[in-house]
Structure 1
Amino acid sequence: MNRLIENILCGFITLLLAVGCKHQSQQEKMISTTQKVLSAIQKDDKILFADLIGTNNADTEALNANLTKIKTYFDKYGPSGAPIITNKFTSLGKRLVIVPLLKGRDTIHHINEISIHLFFGPPQMVPLEKISGYSLIIIDSSGKRVQQFSPTTFDDEDLTTP
């Protein structure tokens, strides 16, 4: 009789756990990964930053230099809003998430906008727990893109909206 009660109790607990475990949506996964990337930037955690890139990142020296460059702008301006999951995709199916750092004017440096572009997916090739590319975008006061650091992707120019 005790064995039967134990089995019923174990089955009930298993059922509760199965019902309580909810899969994250694609958007939730991308936001979670974005937060991890931003945390790695803020902490200057080069190992975590490299681990969050789901593509070949063999050149650690260049990756470290890129992180230092991004961290400089991150420390100066910080995120100026929540990450924006866009409906823009590259021809390879990578989805763009924009992290705004500056939206306004920095009259000293003649900058209007700075953002980090993170690319996700396609999910069947790069899981959404990792990014498939990133760029640092700087737009000057005339609205012209003056600097773009795209060490892992050139997809920024290839964006389309479905």
Structure 2
Amino acid sequence: MPFSLIPFLLLAIPLAEIGVFIAVGSQIGVFATLGMVVLTAVIGSVLLRVQGFGLLTRMRAELDGGNIPGRDLVHGVMILMAGVLLLTPGFVTDTLGFLLFVPVFRDGVWRFARDRIRIVPAGMHRQERHPGAQRAQTIDLSDDEYTGGKNPESPWSEGN
């Protein structure tokens, strides 16, 4: 998703939520609407707990088997997002949150996003990520070349 869409979404989602609140509230009443919002938050927290612990169990089994739980890690992030969306008051965010709790929907989101994500290993230095960048020179001293004492001839000594 281009970053230029983020300000648009920050404006569009609350406006959509306000519109849906007005539409639902005019049909079923204010208290029933507020009750639905609270109920979806409670259901979301229960689903987050159940699916989160289930996912942690699957991840532990993958790690114990010597495998990297890549798919489960992505699903874990989406389940966390689903929980946040369900705890956020609103019907649009609740709908998106409930959809993220469905494993088939999460797989679809992952298939869509997988080709758009670039993974950089954590151990890579900046120069290794950018082939055109200059590499830093490493100086390796042997034991006889290194002394730990003060050098009075050094420009960084306190005597100068």
TM-score (norm 2): 0.23
TM-score (norm 1): 0.23
The structure whose Rg is larger is: 2
Higher helix share: 2
